[in-house]
Amino acid sequence: MQLAIVGDKLIEASKLDSAYLDYGTFFGDGVYEVLRSYDGKLFALEEHLARFKRSLAEIEIEGININDIREKVIMAWQKSGYANAKIYFHITRGAGPRDHAAEGLTPRFFLLVSEAEDATKQKQNGITAMTVPDTRWKRCDIKSLNLLPNVLAKRLAHKRGCDEAIFVDDKGGITEGSSSAFFLIFGNNLQTSPLAANILPSITRQFVLKIYKNAGLNLLEKQTRVEDATKADELFIAVSSKDIVPVVKFNEITISGGKPGKYTKLLMSEFAKLVKK
Ligand SMILES: Cc1ncc(COP(=O)(O)O)c(C=O)c1O
């Protein structure tokens, strides 16, 4: 017989709610997505589902019907009644005895829908960011539940009075934010590090790369360094929950006079058009 303690209660493991035996909890063994709706329209659902499918394949969780996930997302969102919703969902490998390489588990789906945070103030005033060493594993292109380095980076940033932590690799190269993609603007050039195994293929990034020309920008996808960011005319982060948010202080250096810059504002208004389509 296996025994468990939940809080202060000793119980037979066989009587445990299976949520306690989830591989997401034991190992971070699962993948997730976050998307949102804008004024009653879901944004980029297909792009999120495509990335989710890829993440599942990369960690060998098989037999998931993406149509079924799509239906669940839409149903939960509609039931929530939120015009501006944030939808989180994940699939873990399943629940069972704690064993790193267990076979035959049934994957478990979980979804949470809530009202999207109002990011108006952050968009109007900009946020602050600081760099932290990128201590993550080498497959950050997979949107996995393993987020401990991201959590610690964000906690450190908050302790230092910053909103976002920007990861820097061993060679001084910027990868991305702890929960965002990262962009620079020099003159009329938009710069971001190219996608690689150490960067999440951000959906918001994907859309920024569709609209930058409308804002009169050229694109430079090249390995971005910390020195580039400190010298940039404008900086911003990109994330599904808030789309584009200007960064007005980076490692204590004031960027763009401490206010959102002209091109970032243009990109924000282009993005606002996109989410209405
Ligand atoms: C590490 C990391 N990079 C980038 C992003 C932005 O990705 P997306 O635009 O798909 O939300 C996120 C979002 O949570 C993230 O966690």
pLDDT score, position 217? 98
- The pTM for the full model equals 0.97
Shortest-distance Cα residue to atom 15 of ligand 1: 179
Closest atom of ligand 1 to 178 CA is 1
pLDDT in tens, 27-46: 999 999 999 999 999 999 99
- The residues carrying an active-site annotation are 143
Amino acid at 190: L
What pLDDT score was predicted for residue 7?
A: 96
pLDDT of residue 277: 83
Q: At what angle do helices 262-274 and 203-211 cross, to 10 degrees?
A: 110
Q: How far apart are CA 89 and CA 168, in angstroms?
A: 28
Query: Chain-wide mean pLDDT for the chain?
Result: 97
pLDDT tens for each residue of 63-111: 999 999 999 999 999 999 999 999 999 999 999 989 999 999 999 999 9
Determine how many CB atoms are found less than 10 A away from the CB of residue 124.
Answer: 12
154, 204, 239: which to mutate for ligand 1, most atoms within 8 A of CB?
239
Domains of the chain by start residue, with CATH: 11-115 (3.30.470.10), 120-274 (3.20.10.10)
| Ligand 1 lining (C-beta closer than 6 Å) | 34, 150, 176, 179-181, 200, 202-205, 238-240
How far apart (Å, rounded) are the C-alpha atoms in residues 12 and 262?
Answer: 62
Tens digits of residue pLDDT in 207-218: 999 999 999 999
Q: Tokens in use for 73?
A: 């997302």
Q: Is the Cβ–Cβ distance between 123 and 242 less than 8 Å?
A: yes
* DSSP annotation of 38: E
Give the H or E element holding residue 152.
helix 148-159
